[in-house]
Amino acid sequence: MNVQQLAKALNMKPAKAGEWIDAINETFEKFGIDTPERQACFLGQCAHESAGFTALQENLNYSATSLTRVWPKRFPSLQDAERYQRNPEKIANKVYASRMGNGDEESGEGWAYRGRGLIQLTGKSNYEACGEALGVDLVAEPDLVATPQYAALSAGWFWDKNHLNKFADENDMTGLTKKINGGTHGLDDRVAKTQAALDILMA
């Protein structure tokens, strides 16, 4: 894939595509994302997940009301949530405490290993496993996952780990989305972005 193809496939400026092209091609090669259909699915899903390759870190700037809705077990009442609202670091340390390999709330690991990348890598155990696969210490340097190279490669690692090429080969967009999102949130947008990318790759 070249810069012009990537820019057209993702409807982004060539300069922006230039920042991503090496990372995307490395990811495609490393994880066998090697047909137009696989590549289009990867680009379409990543574009949706990352707001067009612009949001590489999880937004945890929640109001108290939103906290009780998104994490009702962690914030059973508005009073509980009000102590955390609009404080992303504090929220991350609370909601990701003692899970996914993270320590307790006081450890700060919820914030250290918050979601980053094109398909958000979250939790210390996932940073460790992904880093081992890529040959880099992402536990020591988690911010690398918010750079183009490792934002793309970590998404490729997730893609490979969950056998997502199979869904792309079968054109199973619903199954693919469920594997990435846990549900079908944004399915129409994912399909549209994938089709737009495929049109360019097949041209």
**Whose CA is closest to 90, among 117, 70, 60?**
60
- Each of the 203 residues of the chain gets a pLDDT tens digit; together they read 999 999 999 999 999 999 999 999 999 999 999 999 999 999 999 999 999 999 999 999 999 999 999 999 999 999 999 999 999 999 999 999 999 999 999 999 999 999 999 999 999 999 999 999 999 999 999 999 999 999 999 999 999 999 999 999 999 999 999 999 989 999 999 999 999 999 999 98
Supply angle C-alpha 75, 115, 54, rounded to 5. Answer: 120
pLDDT score recorded for residue 203: 85
The residues, ordered by sequence, that sit 6+ positions from 125 with a Cβ below 8 Å of its Cβ are 100, 101
Number of other CB atoms surrounding residue 77 within 10 Å: 10
Supply angle C-alpha 167, 169, 173, rounded to 5. Answer: 45
Tokens 């091609």 belong to 25
Q: CA 76, CA 154: separation in Å to the nearest integer?
A: 33
Question: What are residue 170's DSSP bridge partners?
Answer: none
Q: All domains of the chain, ordered by start, with CATH?
A: 3-56+118-201 (1.10.530.10), 64-112 (no CATH)
pLDDT score recorded for residue 35: 97
The separation between the first and the last C-alpha atoms of the chain, rounded to the nearest angstrom, is 12
pTM for the complete prediction?
Answer: 0.93
Q: Token pair for residue 36?
A: 């137009």
Longest alpha-carbon distance in the chain: 56
Q: At what angle do helices 14-30 and 3-10 cross, to 10 degrees?
A: 100
pLDDT score recorded for residue 21: 98
Q: Please classify residue 108 by burial: count the beta carbons closer than 10 Å to its beta carbon, then call 0-12 exposed, 13-18 middle and 19+ buried.
A: middle
